[in-house]
């Protein structure tokens, strides 16, 4: 697959603030690509740079190997779904959807076929003449999608398209968007601050902080092998604890207060080594709690100090190790799962293969 | 709390009576038979409205006023729309100062605006006619137009313009297909309010009118003749009704802008 | 970097000024130029129709020393300040009533208040003459009710009549800004103040009044500045005791053929009004902070 969008070392400042600070990334054809990050990280600015609403201070953006430098939004092969949908309030559904067709020199029949096809695609068949003021949030979202997709853009840009919807509708639209993208085969670039949304929908995710891209990876890689501590704690939850490196080589021997001595392969470690210190990351669901009576020399002693019940999962806070560090543990409340009480002494074990290390 | 509310209500209604008292006299005495404006009333009559039909100087003044009002409300709306679009859409140096300056006639004593304009026109040797009044009124109406257009443009979501560009329209097409239809009610409101204000304006017209008398200047000249009072009242009644209709229309259009544009944000 | 950054600001400036320049130049030509011209003229002298352009302060000296002008200046200020005070004082409870006690009917009340002002200012002021005159509506009404035996004369042709007419004529210009500032007050602030132990009266003086001050100050300026220069009202209901500076400016300009003096009087009143307004705003500065 070839690269459809290439962002090359793009910088964009507003006043003294660098909203996008030297970003480079590549998006392949037909990919569902997400820009993920906290608010103010520059993800929306990057999307608007691709759309052409902002002009980079330096760097270049290519779409299909063609530089977009100096090309206005109305001449770019991109279309956008705006955060508030930007449905024209004075036009009805059909007029909104066909807005971009005016200059396309189509016959009346072709036009109405295209309109109906795209309304079918987003599940709004028959609402052609509905006033845009009478649409619900979800329907506006669909009109915005139909309006953009009818122009068959090479890239569809989506600026937090689901943030205005309530939770149920949002989850439904997530899977619909994913199916839609597969059906039309167009490259989607989605901006979101919701990590769950990014993980469930995307082929690839770029995580941004402070105008810079921190990691670009598939959802699974992002979750299981985050490249920095920031990414690790932004995506899901992660326990961090300090460790000391005891040797050098392909497999590091590490001593930690909580885990004692254990081995960590180099490919599970990110960053550049500085000294013997290393930060160890453990996902809460990769820790297993056992009753205190369990006999096994590999288990570690701990004490439950807090419990948060979430229905299908329960979060325990454990106190352990010489320095009484706390660990967060999540357990699935599935069939046969034990319950523990606050103050109860337990023994726990950690899935060593899931441990990640960050040179500090 | 409810007690103070009661006193407030009594106050509010008395104040309302005070506010309405003068204007209510207009219809009362324009239909009153007697030539003297005093109680008790003497009977119902249309005669004062009929006399209006036979006054040539009034008709000429009306014609002048219409020319002035139509021209100046169009000019002021064009200027007001330009200024409002510039200041609501773009951020630039000198914006606030120059906008405040353009808005100044809103608060400056009219006599100073009138006298200073007159001084310049006399110095330049320009003959006073409807055009001098039109220029003066345009200056006076532009701030009103700016205020009305500001609310229209502020309600205009910038992402609608971006969406239009994104869907392939150029700047002209975006203006014609998105911006204009959405601010059109504001433009109509600005035209109607400008027209009404110009039709009623006296001081500027009084100084700049020359021989082309406008309606308020004509009315002013009629005040000197007690015999013509009922006729003037009749004229005032008609003007009141016209103003009421025009301003209700403008209010309708002004509300339509904010409603239709706001509905995007209401979920 | 710096260069490109300036470029994007520059395009905003160019786009903005491209639109704003037309109305701005129009205002320069029709407002700034005439005011400058008037300023220049105020230092010249006129002898019938010939204009002597040698610089002189005589017009200003005359404006400041001649008792008649001093009287007119002080009277104009007094009338205008009194009218401003009464207009705002009456408008505040009205605006408060609409904002806090009218609930759903707010729009209706605002509409009711503005209707009478859709009559032209000229005719409204003239109607006060009709109401207050010797043979006027009020006298004839009172005679008819036999509350008085002969018409009273103190109603019309004095400064009080001007104040009354102005208080009526400028009412909506006070009610609307005060209403807007009252509307902006977050109602949860009132609940918070009540929760912290304020009585309704405390609440009014500690929350409502300070937060609505920008509206009150705005209303006062909107009325004070133009009414100092009002021409119609004193001419119609003021008599000789109620004439104001604008009437003199007009007389000097037309009948007395002394445009330079008229210009000096105009400039003087403009300066006095600006001075008082600035002092007034500075005096109330602490209330004008943005909340």
Dump pLDDT digits (tens) for A14-65: 888 999 999 999 999 999 999 999 999 999 999 999 999 999 999 999 999 9
If you average pLDDT over residues A163-177, what whole number do you get? 88
Does the pLDDT of residue B256 top 80, yes or no?
Answer: no
Closest-CA distance, C9 to chain A, in angstroms, reads: 9
Confidence (pLDDT) at C10? 61
Does the pLDDT of residue B34 top 60, yes or no?
Answer: yes
Three-state DSSP string of chain A:
CCEEEEEEEEEEEECCEEEEEEEEEEEECCCEEEEECCCCCCHHHHHHHHHCCCCCCEEEEEECCEECCCCCHHHCCEEEECCCCCCCCCCEHHHHHCHHHHHHCCCHHHHHHHHHHHHHHCCCCCCCCCEHHHCCHHHHHHHHHHHHHCCCCCEEEEECCCCCCCHHHHHHHHHHHHHHHHHHCCEEEEEECCHHHHHHHCCEEEEEECCEEEEEECHHHHHHCCCCHHHHHHCCCCEEEEEEECCCCCEEEEEECCCEEEEEEHHHEECCCCCCEEEEEECHHHEEEEECCCCCCCCEEEEEEEEEECCCEEEEEEEECCCCEEEEEEEECCCCCCCCCCCCEEEEEECHHHCEEEEC
**DSSP 8-state code for residue B53:** T
Higher-confidence position of B174 and A103 = B174
Give the CATH class of B56-262.
mainly alpha
Closest CA to A153 of A231, A74, A58, A246: A74
Mutation pick from A11, A13, A19, A52 vs chain C, by most beta carbons of C within 10 Å, is A13
Does the pLDDT of residue C207 top 70, yes or no?
Answer: yes
Residue carrying the six token digits 């004839």: C140
CATH superfamily, with its number, for domain A3-232: P-loop containing nucleotide triphosphate hydrolases (3.40.50.300)
Give the CATH class of A237-359.
mainly beta
Q: Give the tens place of pLDDT for each residue, A272-281.
A: 877 888 999 9
CATH number, domain with residue C109? 1.10.3720.10
Name the closest residue on chain C to residue B235, using Cα atoms: C123
Confidence (pLDDT) at A252? 85
Confidence (pLDDT) at B257? 60
| Band of residue C290 on the pLDDT scale cut at 50, 70, 90 | low
Higher-confidence position of A194 and A321 = A194
Cβ atoms within 10 Å, residue A190:
26
Rounded CA separation B61/C82 (Å): 36
Does the pLDDT of residue A244 top 70, yes or no?
Answer: yes
If you average pLDDT over residues A235-246, what whole number do you get? 90
User: Which residues of C fall within a CB distance of 8 Å from A58?
Assistant: 1, 4
Closest CA to B90 of C26, C11, C24, A71: C11
Does the pLDDT of residue C7 top 70, yes or no?
Answer: no
Q: Is residue C34 part of a domain?
A: no
User: Which residues of B fall within a CB distance of 8 Å from C250?
Assistant: 111, 115
Indicate the average pLDDT of chain A: 91
| Band of residue C289 on the pLDDT scale cut at 50, 70, 90 | low
Confidence (pLDDT) at C2? 35
| Band of residue B266 on the pLDDT scale cut at 50, 70, 90 | very low
Residue carrying the six token digits 């011209």: C37
ipTM: 0.86
Q: Is residue C71 part of a domain?
A: yes
User: Which residues of B fall within a CB distance of 8 Å from C140?
Assistant: 38-40
Q: Give the tens place of pLDDT for each residue, C75-131.
A: 999 999 999 999 999 999 999 999 998 888 888 898 889 888 888 889 899 999 888
CB nearest B167 (choices: A53, A136, A147)? A147
Rounded CA separation A152/B36 (Å): 79
Q: Do A99 and B164 touch (CB under 8 A)?
A: yes
If you average pLDDT over residues B99-103, what whole number do you get? 94
Burial, C281: exposed, middle or buried (Cβ in 10 Å; 0-12, 13-18, 19+)?
middle
Cβ atoms within 10 Å, residue A75:
12
Asked if C39 contacts B119 with a C-beta cutoff of 8 angstroms, the reply is no
Rounded CA separation A73/A148 (Å): 13
Mutation pick from A74, A133, A136, A138 vs chain B, by most beta carbons of B within 10 Å, is A74
Write out the H or E segment, with its range, that includes residue C168.
Answer: helix C159-169
Q: Is residue C101 part of a domain?
A: yes
Q: Which neighbouring-strand residues pair with A156? A: A79, A188
Whether B126 and chain C come into contact, CB under 8 Å, resolves to no
Rounded CA separation C135/C151 (Å): 7
* Max CA pair span of chain A: 79
Does the pLDDT of residue C190 top 90, yes or no?
Answer: no
Spans of all domains in chain A: 3-232, 237-359
Spatial neighbors of C204 by CB under 8 A, at least 6 apart, are: none
Confidence (pLDDT) at A118? 93
Does the pLDDT of residue C1 top 50, yes or no?
Answer: no
Rounded CA separation B207/A74 (Å): 52
Does the pLDDT of residue A308 top 70, yes or no?
Answer: yes
Domain containing C242: what range?
66-288
Closest CA to A302 of A241, A226, A232, A357: A241
Least confident of B243-252, C8-17, C170-179: C8-17
Most confident option among A216-225, A317-326, A339-348? A216-225
Q: Is residue C31 part of a domain?
A: no
User: Which residues of A fall within a CB distance of 8 Å from C1?
Assistant: 11, 13, 57-58
Indicate the average pLDDT of chain B: 88
Q: Give the tens place of pLDDT for each residue, C213-239.
A: 989 999 999 999 999 999 999 999 998
Q: Do C24 and B89 touch (CB under 8 A)?
A: no
Rounded CA separation C232/A67 (Å): 68
Whether B167 and chain A come into contact, CB under 8 Å, resolves to yes
Higher-confidence position of C83 and A320 = C83
Name the closest residue on chain B to residue C41, using Cα atoms: B119
Does the pLDDT of residue A353 top 90, yes or no?
Answer: no
Closest-CA distance, A230 to chain C, in angstroms, reads: 29
Rounded CA separation B128/B121 (Å): 8
Q: Do B264 and A147 touch (CB under 8 A)?
A: no
């Amino acid at each position: 697959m070839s690269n459809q969008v290439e962002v090359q070392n793009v910088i964009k400042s507003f006043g003294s603030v660098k909203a996008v600070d030297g970003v480079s990334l590549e998006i392949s054809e037909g990919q569902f690509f997400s820009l993920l990050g906290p608010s103010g990280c520059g993800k929306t600015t990057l999307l608007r740079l691709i759309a052409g609403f902002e002009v980079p201070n330096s760097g270049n953006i290519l779409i299909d190997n063609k530089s977009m430098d100096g090309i206005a939004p109305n001449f770019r092969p991109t279309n956008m779904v705006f955060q508030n949908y930007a449905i024209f309030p004075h036009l009805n559904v059909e007029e909104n959807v066909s807005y971009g067709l005016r200059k396309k020199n189509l016959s009346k029949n072709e036009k109405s076929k295209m309109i109906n096809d795209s309304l079918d695609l987003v599940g709004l068949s028959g609402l052609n003449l509905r006033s845009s003021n009478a649409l619900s949030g979800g329907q506006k979202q669909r009109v915005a999608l139909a309006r953009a997709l009818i122009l068959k853009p090479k890239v569809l840009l989506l600026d937090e398209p689901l943030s205005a919807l309530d939770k149920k509708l949002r989850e439904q639209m997530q899977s619909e968007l994913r199916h839609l993208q597969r059906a039309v085969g167009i490259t989607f670039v989605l901006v979101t601050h919701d990590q769950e949304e990014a993980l469930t929908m995307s082929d690839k995710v770029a995580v941004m902080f402070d105008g810079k891209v921190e990691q670009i990876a598939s959802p699974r890689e992002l979750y299981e092998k985050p490249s920095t501590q920031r990414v690790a704690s932004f995506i899901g939850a992660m326990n961090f604890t300090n460790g000391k490196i005891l040797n050098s080589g392909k497999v590091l021997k590490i001593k930690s207060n909580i885990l004692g001595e254990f081995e960590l392969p180099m490919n599970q470690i990110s960053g550049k080594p500085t000294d013997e210190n290393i930060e160890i990351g453990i996902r809460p669901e990769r820790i297993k709690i056992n009753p205190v009576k369990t006999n096994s020399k590999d288990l570690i002693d701990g004490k439950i100090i807090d419990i948060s019940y979430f229905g299908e999962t329960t979060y325990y806070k454990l106190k352990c190790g010489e320095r009484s560090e706390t660990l967060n543990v999540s357990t699935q409340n599935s069939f046969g799962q034990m319950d523990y009480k606050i103050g109860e002494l337990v023994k726990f074990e950690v899935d060593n293969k899931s441990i990640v290390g960050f040179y500090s | 709390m409810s007690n103070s509310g009661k006193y407030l209500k009594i106050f509010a209604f008395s104040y309302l009576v005070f506010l309405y008292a003068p204007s209510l006299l207009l219809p009362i005495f324009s239909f009153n038979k007697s030539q003297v404006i005093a109680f008790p009333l003497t009977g119902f009559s249309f005669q004062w409205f009929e006399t209006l039909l036979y006054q040539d100087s009034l008709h000429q003044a009306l014609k002048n006023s219409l020319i002035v009002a139509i021209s100046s409300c169009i000019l002021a709306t064009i200027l007001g729309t330009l200024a409002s679009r510039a200041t609501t859409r773009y951020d630039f140096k000198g914006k606030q100062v120059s906008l405040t300056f353009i808005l100044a006639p809103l608060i400056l004593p009219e006599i100073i605006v009138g006298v200073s304009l007159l001084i310049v026109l006399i110095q330049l040797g320009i003959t006073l006619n409807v055009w001098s009044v039109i220029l003066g009124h345009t200056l006076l109406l532009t701030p009103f137009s700016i205020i009305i257009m500001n609310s229209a443009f502020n309600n205009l979501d910038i992402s609608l313009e971006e969406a239009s560009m994104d869907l392939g329209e150029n700047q002209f097409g975006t203006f014609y297909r998105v911006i204009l239809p959405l601010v059109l009610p504001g433009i109509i409101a600005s035209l109607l309010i400008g027209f009404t204000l110009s039709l009623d304006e006296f001081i500027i017209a009084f100084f700049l009118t020359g021989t082309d008398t406008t309606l308020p200047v004509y009315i002013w000249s009629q005040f000197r003749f007690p015999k013509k009072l009922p006729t003037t009242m009749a004229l005032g009644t008609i003007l009141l009704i016209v103003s009421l209709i025009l301003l209700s229309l403008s209010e309708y259009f002004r509300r339509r802008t904010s409603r239709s544009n706001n509905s995007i944000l209401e979920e | 970097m710096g260069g490109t950054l300036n470029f994007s600001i520059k395009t905003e400036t160019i786009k903005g000024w491209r639109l704003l320049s037309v109305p701005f130049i129009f205002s320069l030509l029709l407002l700034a130029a005439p005011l400058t011209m008037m300023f220049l003229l105020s230092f010249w002298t006129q002898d019938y129709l010939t204009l002597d352009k040698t610089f002189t302060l005589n017009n200003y000296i005359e404006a400041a020393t001649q008792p008649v002008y001093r009287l007119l200046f002080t009277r104009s200020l007094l009338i205008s300040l009194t009218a401003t005070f009464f207009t705002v004082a009456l408008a505040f409870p009205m605006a408060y009533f609409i904002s806090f006690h009218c609930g759903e009917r707010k729009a209706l009340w605002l509409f009711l208040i503005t209707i009478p002002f859709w009559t032209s200012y000229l005719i409204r002021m003239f109607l006060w003459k009709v109401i207050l005159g010797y043979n006027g509506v009020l006298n004839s009404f009172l005679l008819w009710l036999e509350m008085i035996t002969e018409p009273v004369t103190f109603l019309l042709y004095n400064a009080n009549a001007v104040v009354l007419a102005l208080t009526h004529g400028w009412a909506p210009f006070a009610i609307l800004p005060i209403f807007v500032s009252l509307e902006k007050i977050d109602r949860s602030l009132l609940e918070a103040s009540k929760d912290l132990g304020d009585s309704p009266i405390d609440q009014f003086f500690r929350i409502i009044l300070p937060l609505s001050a920008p509206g009150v100050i705005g209303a006062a300026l909107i009325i004070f500045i133009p009414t100092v220069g009002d021409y119609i009202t004193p001419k119609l209901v003021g008599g000789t005791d109620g004439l104001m500076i604008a009437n003199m400016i007009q007389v000097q300009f037309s009948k007395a053929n002394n445009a330079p003096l008229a210009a000096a009087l105009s400039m003087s009143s403009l300066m006095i009004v600006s001075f008082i307004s600035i002092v007034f705003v500075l005096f109330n500065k602490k209330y004008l902070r943005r909340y």
